[in-house]
Amino acid sequence: MAFDDGTPLDAAKLQALETELFNLRSSIPKVGSSTTINLENKTIVQTQILGGVSGVVYLSRGTEVSFSIPFKADSNPISVVLTPVKTSGDFKKGDVSYYISSVSNTGATAKAFLSSTSTASTVGVKFYYMVICA
């Protein structure tokens, strides 16, 4: 749909433009509070997405460390994703292992481990996290 300079505006083109804008707006994911709406036995759920970064977790070779990820969700999380970021120490791919050990709507507990075969004796790692709630 093109608008040419000097050509009068056409109502049909403006209506088509407005329709495309509404379609674009409806396709953008909503981020914020979780909402459930029931329309004649059809349920619509708006997902809540939270994210952030943990404090630095210091790991020693061969030792598992527990750390918490505090957040406040409106409903129970269905997924928690962690991404480690090195802050100190020199370690190689595969030296750091981690997993989520428990989750609630007030936070998650995770555990991280520095391999006993790592060349680094201690490392610092931050974890970026994304929490998806339904």
CATH number for the domain harbouring residue 87 = 2.60.40.2080
In a domain, 65, yes or no: yes
Residue 44: the pLDDT is 52
Residue 91: the pLDDT is 81
Dihedral of alpha carbons 53, 57, 61, 62, sign: negative
Which is higher by pLDDT, 93 or 66?
66
Residue 103: the pLDDT is 94
39 lies in which domain range? 11-46
Whether residue 59 sits in one domain with residue 113: yes
CA distance 78 to 57: 24
In a domain, 1, yes or no: no
Query: Could you tell me if 56 and 124 are in contact, meaning their C-beta atoms sit under 8 angstroms apart?
Result: yes
Q: How many structural domains are present in the chain?
A: 2
Residue 10: the pLDDT is 80
